[in-house]
């Protein structure tokens, strides 16, 4: 892990992807002054910043955190997104099943004298 924010690595990665500091500012929702503070290791990155930078730079969150300095949090693993997707799929199935049960109950009520 880098002791300080590794500007050379970040700048090299941006150059590889033909991105500019303005692209990073926009992705993180920061002003250019705030981004300069980050680049000078005067502004801490949040876990959300690390995730956003990882997507923008097309690297893992661990790699961004490694180059961002010792106090940078490593976000929860990307598997948490997959786990959330599975929970959402299960919830969708449960809601469809509940709707089917409700329709059956209403149909039974309509048929009873």
* Domain match, 64 and 11 both: yes
Q: Is residue 2 very low, low, confident or very high in pLDDT (cuts 50, 70, 90)?
A: low
* Domain match, 14 and 58 both: yes
- Rounded to whole angstroms, the Cα distance separating 8 from 6 reads 6
pLDDT number for residue 41: 87
* Domain match, 51 and 97 both: no
* Domain match, 58 and 94 both: no
Q: Is the pTM of this model over 0.85?
A: no
60-80 mean pLDDT: 75
Domain range for 38 is 7-68
* Domain match, 31 and 50 both: yes
CA 101 to chain centre: 37
* Domain match, 52 and 25 both: yes
* Domain match, 81 and 108 both: yes
Q: Please provide the distance, in angstroms rounded to a whole number, between the alpha carbons at the two ends of the chain.
A: 74
Q: What single-letter DSSP state applies at residue 43?
A: S
């Amino acid at each position: 892990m880098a002791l300080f924010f590794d500007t050379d690595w970040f700048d090299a990665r941006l150059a590889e992807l033909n991105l500019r500091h303005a692209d990073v500012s926009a992705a993180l929702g920061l002003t250019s002054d705030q981004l300069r503070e980050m680049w000078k290791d005067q502004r801490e990155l949040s876990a959300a910043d690390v995730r956003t930078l990882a997507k923008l730079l097309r690297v893992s969150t661990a790699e961004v955190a490694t180059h961002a300095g010792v106090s940078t949090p490593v976000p929860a693993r990307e598997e948490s997104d997959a786990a959330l997707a599975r929970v959402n799929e299960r919830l969708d199935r449960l809601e469809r099943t509940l709707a089917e049960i409700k329709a059956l109950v209403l149909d039974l009520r309509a048929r009873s004298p």
